[in-house]
Structures are given as structure tokens and as C-alpha cells.
A and B are shown apart, each in its own frame.
Chain A
Amino acid sequence: TQLLEQSPQFLSIQEGENLTVYCNSSSVFSSLQWYRQEPGEGPVLLVTVVTGGEVKKLKRLTFQFGDARKDSSLHITAAQPGDTGLYLCAGDNTGGFKTIFGAGTRLFVKA
């Protein structure tokens, strides 16, 4: 059974601080996705990474896929209260249809 472990589970920081969220597995994935979920809503895709070692940037968010395609990280620079939410990593395999999700990291950014 493939598992994705996210850390930390909960993070409370001040506005302007930097943070990194990790997503780790013992399994290889063909791609990893990061989603953000706000209360009362479904997750919304932020990014997909597919190549080992790939780095993608989305404004203040930087996503990296591990060289072995078993792990990923999300780094937020100068966090803002609008970044508050639940961040989920998800992985799937080419030809497979069972996208699995990590348990999520709940981020709270205080003004």
C-alpha cells in the first residue's frame, strides 16, 4: 500500500515568516500534486510536478520533487494571512487511477 506522510501536521506562524512543508513516501510516484483546501470547500490544485528534481514556482510558493520521485516539498516565502489553509500532497502513477493523499498540513498565518 502506498502512503504519503506529510509534516508538520499543524503550523502556526507570524506574517512574514518562511515555512516548508514536507511530503514523503517509500514509494515512487510518476507525479505529485499539491492542493490547497479552505474550510467548507473542496481542494484546489496548486501545482503538479512530474520530473525528478523538478522545481516549480508559483509567486511566493516553491515546489520541489525529489530526485527519486518519492518526496516533495512546498516552501512559502514571507507567508501572508491569505496563505492560511490545509495543504495536501497527492500522488499517482502512470496508468493508475488511484490518486492517494497525505493527511495534510494545516497552516495558520497570524497577522
Chain B
Amino acid sequence: NAGVTQTPKFQVLKTGQSMTLQCAQDMNHEYMSWYRQDPGMGLRLIHYSVGAGITDQGEVPNGYNVSRSTTEDFPLRLLSAAPSQTSVYFCASANLGVGFSGANVLTFGAGSRLTVL
């Protein structure tokens, strides 16, 4: 099984450009989410989805859009990139509520490193 696949692995953008980070999972997980990881700040939740057609905001949603048209895919769109969005982005998925009283056991992709100049 591939698990969670993120593309691209590296990307450099200029301020104001737009782009989409792709995320796909083959585990039939209902839950998918996007995090950004910055030095000293851990992982911060951007957006999440609990199923096709359902998305909601996390801690730091501004500047990012998401959609969930299928169970497998959860792309993250940057509409107008800013230097503050330079970060490593992680997509994660989970099978909701399995095994541990509703705990979300997250499976992460390998990350996408984005630099905005």
C-alpha cells in the first residue's frame, strides 16, 4: 500500500503565484487534514475534512483553500503565495474512531517543502 502520497516534494514560488499541493490516500480513510510545520512551532492544522464534500477550518486557514470531491484526494490550494507561507506541509489521514475511543490515529505523507520568494 502506498499510504499517503504528497506531490510535489519541493516547490519554489514567487510572491503572488498560485499553486496546488496534492494529497492522495489509498486506505479509504474518511478523515484527511493538512498541517504546516515551522521550526519551533510544531505542526499546525490548516484545514481538515471528515468525508467527501465536507471541509472545515483548522488553526491557521487564512490564505489556503481546500476541497474534497473524492474520498481519496484532498488538495491544498494557495491562491496568492506569500513569504509567510514558506513551510513544510504535511497531509494526514485517519480512519475515524477506530480502536481508541475516537482518537484520530494519523497517517502522514512525506511532506512538501514550499519556499515563497
A-side residues, CB < 8 A to B, are: 1, 4, 6, 9, 30-31, 33, 35, 40-45, 48, 50, 88, 90, 92, 94-95, 97-104
Q: List 24 A-B contacts (CB under 8 A).
A: A30-B103, A31-B101, A33-B103, A33-B105, A35-B106, A42-B109, A42-B110, A43-B108, A45-B106, A45-B107, A48-B99, A88-B43, A92-B102, A92-B104, A94-B101, A94-B102, A97-B31, A97-B33, A97-B96, A98-B45, A98-B59, A99-B104, A101-B35, A103-B40
> Chain B residues near A9 (CB, 8 Å)?
40
User: How does the 8 Å CB contact mask read for B60-89 relative to A, with 1 for contact and 0 for none?
Assistant: 000000000000000000000000000000
Asked whether, in the complex, the Cβ of A42 is within 8 Å of the Cβ of B92, the reply is yes
Contacts of A97 in B (CB 8 A): 31, 33, 48, 50, 56, 96, 104
A-side contacts of B56, CB under 8 Å: 97
- Residues of B within 8 Å of A33, CB to CB, are 103, 105-106
CB distance from A15 to the nearest CB of B (A): 26
Give Cα A38–Cα B56 distance, bound, in whole angstroms.
29
Question: Chain B residues near A42 (CB, 8 Å)?
Answer: 4, 90, 92, 108-111
Supply 11 further A-B pairs (C-beta < 8 A) apart from A41-B110, A50-B101, A103-B41. A1-B59, A31-B103, A41-B111, A42-B90, A45-B105, A45-B106, A97-B56, A97-B104, A98-B59, A99-B33, A100-B45
How many Å lie between the Cα of A44 and that of B111 in the bound state?
12
A50 touches B110 (CB 8 A): no
Cα A6 to Cα B105 with chains together (Å): 20
Question: In the bound complex, do residue B103 and residue A48 qualify as a contact, i.e. CB atoms below 8 Å apart?
Answer: yes
Closest B residue, CB atoms, query A44: B108
Say yes or no for B16: interface residue by CB 8 A criterion. no
What's the least CB distance linking B82 to chain A, in Å?
Answer: 23
* A92 CB contact (under 8 Å) in B103, B107, B108: B103
B-side contacts of A40, CB under 8 Å: 110-111
Contacts of A98 in B (CB 8 A): 45, 48, 58-59
